[in-house]
A and B are shown apart, each in its own frame.
Chain A
């Protein structure tokens, strides 16, 4: 039994080290925000300050980059969520080799490196339409793969959809438009919300694709990267800390939504069975 206890101790310490490895760098980065050293570090500790938050607040370029990121994020939601929904609706009703083919095509951007998504978009739109890098291309390039995430979310929910609801409505004389508005769409509402949140977060954090199609625009991630390389101060840490706090909030909300949804699905399956 002592060998068993030894193994349990080993597993326990491995897990502790693993989670420390995951979180310590983020904690160190956040802590450096409050050090009044000019370079972001926690050694040596030069005294507590909140000054880097006000430095960040006064940074005009940061605000304009944030604005750009918000516009791009909103644009990506508007483009990618309807596209993902349409693809999921179509694939849900196909049962042939066409389905396999379309599915492979639709998820292929997820298996393509982000830089290549950016490059192909940049080349294509300049050669065919004379459009160069900027807000529009950033939204287009990001949507090309974020739509695939949205599609996967919608497909997962559609798999549990009770088709007889639509059949019944159609038999009772409802038009296809009515069925879609009154039955399909309300059923998909939770997925529309989570797909929008996912799309926004994906867009907001994107760097590799954005870099190639941004033109003269600067999103927040591009701004952070440029600050790290030239002109790094703990103000960047202050910004990182705020973004991490918001992300944690978003991730926890998303998880709660997802788990509630999963529980409800399990509940209905149990009721049927």
Chain B
């Protein structure tokens, strides 16, 4: 602390501390604490606030266990997000490996730019582009009917499959960059050495590249899972009443059910799920927080 004051002087240090305190307290920590506090209280009309009924309760959390539909949606959100994560990992690994180890140096800047540009495009627009393709009179149906695979167009929007396909597309780039960064730091000589010693390519990947890429795999999986589980845009656009996502249930508690306390409890459950996934991945792959936020 003394070093901070020595470097910036008392006035500037005061301003810096004030700004950081405001940000972390008012915008980050207190809202989270308030949300959790709120989730343990019953939903009461203003006249009863502070009255005898205004006590802490786990009722809002019990709702998820008793409401079979919500519980099923919650569980589906977990496995579908895990599936999205696994598919993106499988699709991205070869691309990341090629870019990091195989691609000629002069071709790399263009290839990277081709990855970065779609990454910048609005998530909602990327979702919308799949809406156009999956629509009843969209490209995919015309193609499949034209090739004689289907006799007539099929409904591809409004179900879980459409949502999952869309999510893989929208979140794929959050997997590619962490993987690339991790594999890029692998010394190419290690691969050469393994090859000279007679290892096949499968063995090289399994024993040399993959272990080295662990931090990248962890970061990519954490980001993808979190984005998928917390996604609202993709299920809202590509899904329907039969394929509701947990975030949509939360939204409905707030803006249709009018029960904010209940919604806050569901939101906290989603947050705990994500923290659990982050901690598990960090332990499993032995990476720290600084590796993740790059």
Contacts and interface: CB of A to CB of B under 8 A. Distances in A.
Q: Are both chains from one complex?
A: yes
Interface of A: 7, 11, 14-15, 18-19, 21-23, 25-26, 28-29, 32, 39-44, 82-83, 86-87, 89-90, 93-95, 102-116, 119-125, 127-128, 140, 143-144, 147-148, 152, 166, 175-177, 180, 201, 204-205, 207-208, 211-212, 221, 224-225, 228-229, 236-237, 240, 243-244, 247-248, 250-252, 254-255, 259
A137 B230 CA distance: 20
Given A123-B34, A176-B8, A208 B231 contact: yes
Interface stretch (B10-18, B65-73, B207-215): B10-18
Interface string B22-48: 111001111110110010000000000
A261 to B, nearest CB: 15
Interface of B: 1, 3-4, 7-12, 15-17, 19-20, 22-24, 27-32, 34-35, 38, 91, 94-95, 98, 102, 109, 113-126, 128-133, 135, 137-139, 142-143, 169, 172, 201, 222, 226-227, 229-233, 236-237, 247, 250-251, 254, 260, 263-264, 267, 270-271, 274, 278, 289-290, 292-294
Contact of B139 (A23, A42, A104): A42
A40 B132 CA distance: 7
A229 B237 contact: yes
A113 B266 CA distance: 13
Most chain A CB within 10 A, of B34, B129, B231, B278, is at B129
A166 B9 CA distance: 12
Given A39-B137, A144-B23, A176-B11, A205 B222 contact: no
A18 B122 contact: no
Contact of B289 (A107, A121, A140, A237): A107
A26 B128 CA distance: 9
Contacts of B102: 11
Contacts of B113: 252, 255
A125 B293 CA distance: 27
Contacts of B24: 102, 105-106
Contacts of A166: 7
Contact of B23 (A7, A87, A122): A87
B interface majority secondary structure = helix
Contacts of A143: 27
Given A140-B27, A144-B28, A22 B118 contact: yes
Given A22-B118, A121-B31, A147-B27, A240 B294 contact: no
A120 B31 contact: yes
A26 B121 contact: yes
A61 B109 CA distance: 40
A15 B294 CA distance: 26
A144 B24 CA distance: 8
Per DSSP, chain A at the interface is helix
20 contacts: A14-B98, A15-B98, A41-B138, A105-B29, A111-B226, A112-B274, A113-B230, A119-B250, A119-B263, A120-B267, A176-B11, A177-B9, A205-B123, A207-B123, A208-B230, A211-B251, A224-B128, A225-B236, A244-B125, A251-B117
B230 A115 contact: yes
Contacts of B3: 93-95
Leading 9 A-B pairs by shortest Cβ distance:
A113-B230, A176-B9, A86-B19, A120-B31, A144-B27, A124-B31, A43-B142, A25-B129, A251-B120
A208 B232 contact: yes
B215 to A, nearest CB: 15
A207 B232 contact: yes
A252 B113 CA distance: 8
B132 A28 contact: yes
A39 B135 contact: yes
Nearest to B145: A43
Contact of B12 (A40, A180, A254): A180
Given A19-B114, A28-B132, A90-B16, A104 B98 contact: no
A244 B34 contact: no
Nearest to A87: B20
Contacts of B1: 94
Given A26-B118, A32-B132, A93-B7, A41 B35 contact: no
A239 B114 CA distance: 22
B226 to A, nearest CB: 6
Nearest to A227: B128
Instruction: From B9, B95, B128, name the one whose CB has the most chain A CB atoms within 10 angstroms.
Output: B128
Contact of B126 (A18, A25, A115, A175): A25
A244 B121 contact: yes
B28 A109 contact: yes
Contact of B267 (A111, A119, A240): A119
Contacts of B260: 123
A204 B120 CA distance: 11
B118 A110 contact: no
A103 B289 contact: yes
